[in-house]
Amino acid sequence: MSNSRSQRSTAPVKPENSALADELRSQLKGKPTKSGFNRSAIREFGSFVWDIARVLIVVVLCVCFLFGGFGAGMLLGYASTTKPLSIGDLTTAEESQTSFVYDKEGNVIAKLTGSENVDRIYVSFSDVRDTYLDEAIIAIEDERFYDHSGIDIKRIGGAFLSALANGGSATYGGSTITQQTVKLISGQDEHSTSRKVQEWFSAMELEQTLSKDEILELYMNLAPTGNNYVGVQAAAQNYFGKDASELTLPECALIAGIPKSPSYYNPLRESGRRNALRRMRIILGKMYELGYITEEEYNDALNTEIVFKEPDINTGSQIKSYFTEYAISEVIDDLAESRGISRSLASTLVYNRGYQIYTTLEPATQAILDEAFKNQDLFQSNPEALADYPEKPNGSMVVINTQTGAIAAMQGGYGEKNMNLSLNRATSSYRSPGSSIKPLIDYGPALELGIIAPGTIYNDEVCYLDPTNPEKPWPVNYEHDYLGPITIRQALVKSRNTIAAQLWTNIGGDTALWYLKQVGIDRTDEGAYPSQSVGGFTKGMTTLEMAAAYNTFASGGTYTEPYAYTEVYDSEGNLILSSNPLKYRVYSEETSFFIGDMLKGVVTSGIPSQYGGQITGIDGGLIDTAGKTGTTSDNIDKWFCGFTPYYAAAVWYGYDNRLRQTEIPKGDRNNAVRIWMYCMQKIHENLPAASFYKPDTVISVQVCSSGYYATDECKAAGTAYTDYFVVGSYLCPTENNPCPVHVPAPPDPLPVNPDEQTDIGGF
């Protein structure tokens, strides 16, 4: 088979030699039962008249629409809202350029090139000019590509007629290659009149801006080619193990047919491969019909065996960290949004146009997480006991700098990361939060609304707060006991479900969800229901969401949308993206201090105290440490979320549960706490002592268990305790309202002297 374009014939072929005829013949079986043209002259005449009528109807409709005032107004309106296409980056560079990703200290942590990212590799039209790719694409997608100005009136009319003849559904589309390129650039594929008109104008504008070859180049590099591959170069390397410039005629035809339906024509599936080969034969026939190939080339191509490459488990030359992949993804999303282009195009730009991406990664902090997540002792207390488990335990962790709200480090899975784009549990796994949600949905909102203070007394008793089952006690505490009257501080430290549900009820479910949304966890679409108060959500939380939410308390009440990069520059040093994270106040400084101070009790008296407790920094200086555990009732998920004045962090531990739900063994149920304490101790070891900021409006008051200002009698009775309150709050006990329960005993009556008695009457 020849690859020379000089041998290609432009002579039209006979109908019986067309691609359609070949395909029909391949499907025929047996003998015909009757003549295909055994129709009367009257029926033939009627059919001819009806064809003419259909054409006239279309012409009349088009004239009315185009020249009528209403139709013209609509067209002008749609045209005026058409957004210009952003294609400069793709058309200004002759070759792909390497992009670099940097950490916070300016060290290169990743190089992004087309060869490293085999999912999308940009190739210039000049590199594939000597192949049959362009003819194959034009033959099957847009045979009048070189003749129209962006839209093909004849094709549109044919599609319209097809729709009329088939009850509103056209048997083929009216989009040209230029229109399809517009969709690939903009990412817009809405099936509406306005979008279609805007697409027409954009296509005509693109034709005025670029040459036909440049448009074809864009299409070749942006078209989906199955299995998340984008562009002909990625398809050539992944399906055939070669560059696009080396593709043979039948290989070109096969790749050209995939974009129509990448999943249906997926060459990596057996059924998809059969479909792709059938479509390849149709395309070859169409190329022969249009004169792009000779009869000899056509027959040789049909008789050539297609040899597919065996898929690689990992074809990337560099394994990127979970953080790096997340940062790149954020850049792609923001670039697509800021420029109004498709995510696919934004990704192509990031990987092929020499961008400089500066991230928030703190290398020393990340190194600590990397070491911890390869430490088997932190994840498996008894590895032999897990030998028969269908999978090994896993976890994730996110650390956020409280001063900036930036992501300092991230780990998305246990062990060595051995492939790109694997599951990042820190950002993509939604797990039930258990009691770790209580500060965010119960205690924080109740403190902010002035319903409680840390020293407020609530009664830990049997509750009936499930409206669907009002006669059954709900919720019950983890220990299945009740402590009676206790302070809010004690209730949070001891994680009493009854108090959490009472607070949620007093706040109101919708208000509680509103506060949760304010710290970056939007579950308002679920509606409010009581089990949310103790972590029962339809959709769980990611580790990143929980870390950012807890950082709100660490930063004094201001929520900062977590971000992974600061700035992005193009190859010429122009700033093209700058991180501008959303920031706003959710809680007062008083509420933030209360939460932090109460959660210190979890660290000093609960499970965390067994693994180091309060963190110490340089020279043994004490660093205030607050945190909250989280456990689902079935021990499927374990959490620890907390913060210091320097960093906020969240850890999830459990199993992926891909085959079945796996209960965490008893010996591993503290591993989330162990991982958190292990990493945070190391992160802070060279930092000076620090305490949570206490506003001047917060004062300490001695209170009686009765809830009133403690008197000397309360102290004597052992019912007095000291806690924090906001000065001037109605919840703050004062000397003017002392305890009415413990009062001074009345003085003993004086003895009566008989000699001093006075006779006041008598006879």
**pLDDT (tens digit, 9 = 90+) per residue, 121-133?**
888 999 999 999 9
Q: List the structure tokens of 234.
A: 């990625």
Q: State the pLDDT at residue 8.
A: 42
- Rounded (10°) CA dihedral 539, 540, 543, 547: 90
Phi/psi for 137 (5° steps) reads -65, -45
Buried b (16+ CB within 10 A) or exposed e, 693-723: ebeeebeebebbbbbbbbbebbeeeebbbeb
Q: How many residues does the chain have?
A: 763
Domain end position, chosen among 534, 569, 592? 534
Q: State the pLDDT at residue 745.
A: 75
Q: In this structure, are 298 and 445 located in the same domain?
A: no
Coil/strand/helix, residue 383: helix
Q: State the pLDDT at residue 508.
A: 97
Q: Is 239 domain-assigned?
A: yes
Q: Is 515 domain-assigned?
A: yes
Q: Is 392 domain-assigned?
A: no
Domain end position, chosen among 501, 534, 567? 534
Q: State the pLDDT at residue 534.
A: 97
Q: State the pLDDT at residue 170.
A: 45
Q: List the structure tokens of 227.
A: 């299995």
* pLDDT single digits (tens) 326-343: 999 999 999 999 988 888
Return the DSSP state at 375. Answer: -
Query: How many distinct structural domains can be found in the chain?
Result: 3
Query: What is the C-alpha separation between 430 and 539, in angstroms, rounded?
Result: 7
Q: State the pLDDT at residue 589.
A: 98
Coil/strand/helix, residue 653: strand
Query: If you search the block for the tokens 């269908």, which residue do you land on?
Result: 390
Q: Is 620 domain-assigned?
A: no
Q: State the pLDDT at residue 216.
A: 95
Query: If you search the block for the tokens 């008789």, which residue do you land on?
Result: 303
DSSP letters, 260-306, are: G-TTTT-TTSHHHHHHHHHHHHHHHHHHHHTTSS-HHHHHHHHTSPP
First and final C-alpha spacing in the chain: 150
- Rounded (10°) CA dihedral 591, 596, 598, 602: 150
Phi/psi for 432 (5° steps) reads -60, 130
Q: List the structure tokens of 268.
A: 């990596």
Contacts of 320 (CB under 8 A, 6+ apart): 110, 328, 420
Q: State the pLDDT at residue 60.
A: 55
Q: Is 735 domain-assigned?
A: yes
CA atoms within 13 A on the CB side of 571: 18
CA atoms within 13 A on the CB side of 2: 11
Q: State the pLDDT at residue 190.
A: 56
Query: What is the C-alpha separation between 338 and 369, in angstroms, rounded?
Result: 33
Domain end position, chosen among 507, 534, 561? 534
Q: Which amino acids are annotated catalytic?
A: 141, 435
Q: What is the pTM of this model?
A: 0.80
Residue 202 belongs to domain with CATH number: 1.10.3810.10
Q: State the pLDDT at residue 113.
A: 75
Residue 498 belongs to domain with CATH number: 3.40.710.10
Query: What is the C-alpha separation between 469 and 529, in angstroms, rounded?
Result: 13
Query: What is the C-alpha separation between 157 and 138, in angstroms, rounded?
Result: 19
User: Residue 118 — left, alpha, or beta (φ > 0 → left; ψ -120 to 50 → alpha)?
Assistant: alpha
Query: What is the C-alpha separation between 20 and 22, in angstroms, rounded?
Result: 5
Q: Residue 416 corresponds to which amino acid?
A: E
Q: Is 395 domain-assigned?
A: no
Q: Is 558 domain-assigned?
A: no
Q: What is the CA radius of gyration of the chain?
A: 36
Q: Residue 543 corresponds to which amino acid?
A: T
Q: State the pLDDT at residue 524.
A: 97
Task: Give me the long-range contacts of 599-603 (CB less than 8 A, separation at least 24).
Answer: 599/439, 599/492, 599/493, 599/626, 599/627, 599/628, 599/642, 600/624, 600/625, 600/626, 600/692, 601/489, 601/492, 601/493, 602/492, 602/493, 602/626, 602/627, 602/628, 602/629, 602/642, 603/627, 603/642
Query: What is the C-alpha separation between 543 and 562, in angstroms, rounded?
Result: 12
Mean pLDDT of the residues in the chain: 86
Residue 316 near residue 420 (C-beta atoms within 8 A): yes
Query: For the chain, which residues score pLDDT lower than 50?
Result: 1-13, 15, 18-39, 69-82, 92, 169-172, 192, 315-316, 760-763
Q: State the pLDDT at residue 340.
A: 87
Q: State the pLDDT at residue 598.
A: 98
Q: State the pLDDT at residue 421.
A: 86
Q: Is 505 domain-assigned?
A: yes
Query: What is the C-alpha separation between 183 and 195, in angstroms, rounded?
Result: 10
Query: What is the C-alpha separation between 350 and 111, in angstroms, rounded?
Result: 11
The domain of 138 spans: 5-25+118-302
Instruction: List the one residue out of 84, 98, 120, 72 whose CA is nearest residue 230.
Output: 120
Residue 151 near residue 176 (C-beta atoms within 8 A): yes
Q: Residue 208 corresponds to which amino acid?
A: Q
